[in-house]
Amino acid sequence: MTDAIRAEGLVKHFKGSTALAGVDLVAREGAVLGVLGPNGSGKTTTVRILATLLRPDGGRAEVGGFDVVRRPHEVRRLIGLTGQYAAVDADLSGTQNLTLIARLLGYSRGDARARAAELLERFGLTDAAERAAKTYSGGMRRRLDLAASLVGRPSLLYLDEPTTGLDPHSRNELWDVVRELVGDGVTVLLTTQYLEEADQLADDIIVLDHGKVISRGTPDELKERAGAQVLQVRPADPARLDRAAAVVEAVTRSEVRSADGGASASVTDPAVMPEVVRRLDEEGIAVAELTLRRPSLDEVFLAITGRPADDAPADGTEAAPERTHA
Ligand SMILES: Nc1ncnc2c1ncn2[C@@H]1O[C@H](COP(=O)(O)OP(=O)(O)O)[C@@H](O)[C@H]1O
Ligand SMILES: [Mg+2]
């Protein structure tokens, strides 16, 4: 398989601070590369460099075989970019937004309207086509934004935190759209802070932290690399959670996390299972769930970095809304 994107040693400094400290990545053609990392880890900076919107201070990158610094026009012709914030004109209708973009891309008036209608239909926005975008829900806005980035039929799509701030239903809808696009052969570069999202969509993942790739692999490989399995106990009576957690801690001798009515801890030796069962029984704790499972990506991130993925301080310096068209 060919590489759609290949970057080596990308470095970017902003006024003394280092946003990227040597990022290598490869996106295989027709696959989804997930760039996973907390706020401020360098995701948007990476995307902006690969979209030719920002020059790297070091390293090099090729998109579709074109160098992003020396051949920006060729690169832009290949890509669609959807920023973290919806970038459509809120006062224009869905049809007007998409038609405008199509006209800018050189479509005739008739072709532009046809392309707009086709995309609105595909994204379930036909009923809202003639309404101003400002009347759309967050999920609808995000779908319109995605539609806008697809007007020029890009073979590569950059999605920078496409579901941040969306409710679970809208998030699922957007995931379906992304899967459909991948089914059509589009290569996707997806940044996300949500480990579940990377797990759901990505074929390959790089984990960024402080501008460095701290881990890479398929979702399964990342989970395997974290090594340990996770023992999870959920008492039938939620009031017994503290006791159940104490049992798990005593047996596994590792840190116990309590969430959603369950207590979980990493275990390297599956033989602790019978001991947990015995102690729970001694304490008369009936269980609704007792499982030994592979870690979630959240737990993987915790294992790699020593802190939860959502624990990084937000720095409020997100890039402005952005989008390029073919
Ligand atoms: N235009 C800029 N000026 C100064 N610092 C920036 C700029 N853009 C990003 N940064 C800094 O670079 C780092 C990486 O930012 P960014 O790539 O936006 O991270 P992410 O998208 O993962 O949240 C952060 O520390 C951020 O403050
Ligand atoms: Mg960002």
Q: pLDDT tens digit string along 61-110?
A: 999 999 999 999 999 989 988 765 557 899 999 999 999 999 988 999 99
Average pLDDT on 207-212 reads: 94
- The answer, yes or no, to whether any atom of ligand 1 lies below 6 A from the CB of 42, is yes
What is the three-class DSSP state of 39? coil
- The answer, yes or no, to whether any atom of ligand 1 lies below 6 A from the CB of 16, is no
- The answer, yes or no, to whether any atom of ligand 1 lies below 6 A from the CB of 44, is yes
For 23-46, the pLDDT digits (tens) are 999 999 999 999 998 889 999 999
- The answer, yes or no, to whether any atom of ligand 1 lies below 6 A from the CB of 127, is no
pLDDT for residue 85: 53
pLDDT for residue 33: 98
Task: Please give the distance, rounded to the nearest whole angstrom, from the Cα atom of residue 161 to the centre of ligand 2.
Answer: 7
Contact of 150 with 174, CB cutoff 8 Å: no
Residue 181's contacts (CB-CB under 8 Å, 6 or more residues apart) are: 150, 157, 188
In the 8-state DSSP scheme, what is residue 313?
Answer: P
- Is residue 295 over pLDDT 80? no
Contact of 103 with 113, CB cutoff 8 Å: no
Range among 54-58, 74-78, 310-314 rated most confident: 54-58
| Best probe residue, ligand 1, of 39, 44, 81 (max atoms within 8 Å of C-beta) | 44
pLDDT for residue 84: 56
Average pLDDT on 4-33 reads: 96
Task: Please give the distance, rounded to the nearest whole angstrom, from the Cα atom of residue 21 to the centre of ligand 2.
Answer: 16
Nearest CA to ligand 1 atom 2: 14
Cα Rg of the chain (Å, integer): 23
Cα gap 165→104, rounded to integer Å: 30
- The answer, yes or no, to whether any atom of ligand 1 lies below 6 A from the CB of 315, is yes
Beta partners for 293? Answer: 230
Question: Which range among 31-45, 199-213, 227-241 shows the weakest confidence by mean pLDDT?
Answer: 227-241
Q: What is the pTM of this model?
A: 0.78
- The answer, yes or no, to whether any atom of ligand 1 lies below 6 A from the CB of 39, is yes
Above pLDDT 70, what percent of the chain?
Answer: 91
Nearest CA to ligand 1 atom 16: 42
Total length of the chain: 326
Check the CA dihedral 304-33-317-169 and report its sign.
Answer: negative
Q: Would you place residue 269 in the very low, low, confident or very high pLDDT band (cuts 50, 70, 90)?
A: confident
Cα gap 195→201, rounded to integer Å: 10
- What is the pLDDT of the chain when averaged over all its residues? 88
Cα gap 270→257, rounded to integer Å: 18
Q: Tell me which of 44 and 270 has the higher pLDDT.
A: 44
Cα gap 210→43, rounded to integer Å: 10
Q: In ligand 1, which atom is closest to the CA atom of 45?
A: 17
- The answer, yes or no, to whether any atom of ligand 1 lies below 6 A from the CB of 317, is yes
Q: Would you place residue 321 in the very low, low, confident or very high pLDDT band (cuts 50, 70, 90)?
A: very low
Beta partners for 236? Answer: none
Cα gap 211→25, rounded to integer Å: 12
pLDDT for residue 1: 55
Cα gap 9→223, rounded to integer Å: 25
10 Å Cβ neighbour count for 201? 24
Question: Which range among 192-201, 276-285, 294-303 shows the weakest confidence by mean pLDDT?
Answer: 294-303
